[in-house]
Amino acid sequence: MAEQPKNPDELGALWVKQSDRGEYMTGTVNGVQVVVFRNGNKREGSNAPDWRVLKSKPMAGRTKPTRDAQPEYAADPEW
């Protein structure tokens, strides 16, 4: 399959993941590995964001991922 030309407006890509604590996303934005969590502290009618974007921290004790594998990243303990 031929690779599509890169969209000049694209900043990165995210993949939806599921954990025991809920849904989250991982991926890259401008070359930075990120993890995105739903804002669990949002109250109805507030101006707080729905999702929070954080720099990813590789999970401790994991071996280096293979070239083709998507790395798994640790959830921030505050979430």
For residue range 43-59, what is the model confidence (pLDDT) as tens digits? Answer: 888 899 999 999 998 77
Token pair for 70: 């998507």
Asked if the structure places residue 61 within a domain, the reply is no
23 and 16 in contact (C-beta within 8 Å)? yes
Can you say whether the dihedral through the CA atoms of 22, 28, 30, 32 is positive or negative? positive
How many domains does the chain fold into?
A: 1
Asked if the structure places residue 31 within a domain, the reply is yes
pLDDT of 66 strictly over 50: no
- List, for residues 18-45, the tens digit of each pLDDT value: 999 899 999 999 999 999 999 988 888 8
* Domain boundaries, position 18: 13-41+50-55
Could you tell me which residues come within 8 angstroms of residue 38 by beta carbon, excluding any fewer than 6 positions away? 22, 23, 24, 50, 51, 52
Which among 76, 72, 53, 50 has a CA at the least distance from the CA of 62? 72
Instruction: Please give the model's pTM, rounded to 2 decimal places.
Output: 0.65
Could you tell me which residues come within 8 angstroms of residue 13 by beta carbon, excluding any fewer than 6 positions away? 27, 28
Asked if the structure places residue 67 within a domain, the reply is no
What is the reported pLDDT for 41?
86
